[in-house]
A and B are shown apart, each in its own frame.
Chain A
Amino acid sequence: MTMRLRDPLLWASLALTALAALMPHSKPLFAALFPGLARPLFELDGCADLLAGHLLLVGASSGAAILLGVGAAIFVTRPAGAEFRSLVATIVAIGQTFPPVAVLAVAVPVIGFGFYPAFIALLLYGLLPIVDTAIAGLDAVPATLRDAARGMGMSEGAILRKVELPLAAPAIIGGIRISVIINVGTATVASTVGARTLGLPIIIGLDAANPAYILQGAIPVALLAIVLDLAFGRLLTALQRRRHSRPGG
């Protein structure tokens, strides 16, 4: 019980929920902190709404990136797709040198303002770390294990589902973690292109020189990133613990 009470993930999640719930009532606090401001509280959108918008954008783009990224990694690690492996690796390596915000900036004039350019940019950029680590994870599965599974009469599909993917899971989840954290950041900047995320109070606050607005976006988004990172860390530990408790599993 004492361990549970010192759990940083628990406290960070509680703090984020409390922040989202209490922000609409925090006007007196910000008015006291910044007495010079005519509008101390960002009221265009509620904090909870913006948090939901942020999560929707990151969730949708990361979900699509996971499907496509893991799919691509599976394809290039099969004999049928092995020829395309170097091409995919080149695209991933060059793509990752591009800053995520550059992808966002180019998507807007091509697609228009709003949710979709942000979604496409986050999807494309989010793919790269996932493909990268999923290929590495699938590669690290010992060939002897694959042969043993084949010897037991498992089909190629079953080997993938029951041997390769479970063994590669920590690497793949590590890649998803990197991708999601980058996307939380890019989604924040995406409010410059009309996506309704927690970046909106920051951008408007920077534009109007309103430090209260900036804090009302920056604190929840920083907390959101920390919560997600801690949650992925927890997931990885759980996976590793399960593996150690099942020898050879």
Chain B
Amino acid sequence: MKELNEVDRSEEFIKLLAEHERRLTAYVMTFVPRAADADDILQETKLGLWQSFDQFVAGTNFGAWARQAAFNRILDFRKRKGRESQHLMFSDCCIENLAVAFERSEGLMDARFGRLTHCVAKLPSEHRQIVSLRYHDSKSVDEIAEKMSRSVAATYRVLSRIRLALRDCILEIGGDSRLQSEPIQ
């Protein structure tokens, strides 16, 4: 990248980051439960990516490079905040295993997530409403329980079932529940 002038380099960086922004954000959120923490880590990561952009080799995998940088910051963050945090945290060993597992299936997951809207649309109407309350209207589980006239425990259960169904649909595991072939004619 060194032969590029400052503006070209900035443009190239902006372009690459724009392409990978959503996936990088989702990656950090996968490892960091609290969004405020994820936001901080993302900010630091992006600044770090820019500052070390000279080291990025054009044409190589920007996504993997950015995830590695983000993961290093996640580890730093855990060290910094770990002792003072009230929140439960996986061991370093466990989180590193997860990072390796993520890289193993990243391609599969990412390619499949284009199906998300389709899979949400296929949910039964009540489940779609719950997804909408949760993710579009930012309702808490307590509020969803009240709105749907369910207990909080039942709401957690239904949310977990919805999430599994969406995951199976996205990854097309066990077949698309509505996919039927015409009978052999």
A and B interact:
no
